[in-house]
Amino acid sequence: MIGPLWPLARVALHALDAETAHTATLAALERMPARRPPPSDPRLAVQAFGLSFPNPIGLAAGLDKDAKVPDAMLALGFGFVEIGSVTPKPQVGNPKPRLFRLSEDRAIVNRMGFNNDGSAAALGRLTRRAGRPGVVGVNVGANKDSADRTADYVAGVETFAEVASFFVVNVSSPNTPGLRDLQAKVALDDLVARVLDARDRAAARTGRRRPVLLKIAPDLDLYGLDDVAQVALDRGLDGLVVSNTTLARPATLRSAAAGETGGLSGAPLFRRATWALAETYLRTGGRIPLVGVGGVASGADALAKIRAGATLVELYSALIYEGPGLVRRTLSTLTEAVGAAGAGSLAPLVGVDARAVAAAGPG
């Protein structure tokens, strides 16, 4: 679908409802011939939380919940892929319809509700791909009916300890009632302590210490970001993912589906998510890597995330409108930025605009 075929594929996919198009895309990707990831400019390579990334652009969680197509996505040029969210038990998620295009706004609203095939299915697929190149992280979630949601996150880390390149603990989805309450300081501190203990036990068993990152909401206020940063630093988290979808609805939205319940992603999220990223960078002082997510639809957007404090950048929603060629175009822009800065890598650019972005506010 890269190049001249993408406009035709886009018309066909957008003629379907959003979730059917998503399912059809996954089915097509599963049938793609296996290809090795293309080489990246060496100047785009990133070292973060003990891992080596060929470039900083990753696929955000949500597209490949069940680890069906990580290698197909890596073959598009992504520097890493995050699968999930995966819950211990299979879960059907919320009633349909639950995924909506906001085409006029280049955005998406979803209320999927952690629909996935469960940990056993994803583990089987990741075990079968063992030994293939590429960084593949696992985003772990909690079942809606769980009596102890923190125990679900612990179970996720224990289950995937041998096959995950890294973990992302997702406590910020707006589509599981009460889940975001785990971002409150006392609850978050307990969750992080238990998850890290599970990681360390697994490391003793497997001989491999997997990085653990926490994914937070863009809707946290400054006090909430203070708490997250303090817990992350005090407990020794390996990184933070900033951010998930937002419950806010900017007044500028024009699409008919703008009022649908769920999390908003895509272009309208960019400013708020980048503000949250910059504020988090200032609070953590560059002591832990940040992954910038939310509204990235171009190389310029990815560069803005890096300059606001991101060591790595993820995207997803923009693929629905821009197609898979977006990855190549984004990497090209970053290569140009490194050259223009006269730098040997992107590292000197990380966080240089953080204070200005924070001062500009969330919009």
Catalytic (active-site) positions: 173
Helix (H) or strand (E) holding 216: strand 212-216
Spatial CA neighbour of 306 closest among 288, 293, 323? 293
Spatial CA neighbour of 351 closest among 247, 296, 279, 265? 279
CA 37 to chain centre: 19
CA-CA distance, 210 to 278, in Å (whole number)? Answer: 26
Spatial CA neighbour of 60 closest among 70, 50, 68, 51? 70
Spatial CA neighbour of 298 closest among 245, 259, 337? 337
CA-CA distance, 105 to 294, in Å (whole number)? Answer: 14
Which two tokens mark 129? 């791909």
Residues 6+ apart with CB under 8 A from 129: 67, 70, 71, 136
CA 219 to chain centre: 16
Residues 6+ apart with CB under 8 A from 348: 341
Q: Are 270 and 295 in contact (CB under 8 A)?
A: yes
Strand partners, 200: none
Query: 3-class SS at 34?
Result: coil
CA-CA distance, 105 to 124, in Å (whole number)? Answer: 38
CA-CA distance, 12 to 10, in Å (whole number)? Answer: 5
Q: Are 291 and 49 in contact (CB under 8 A)?
A: no
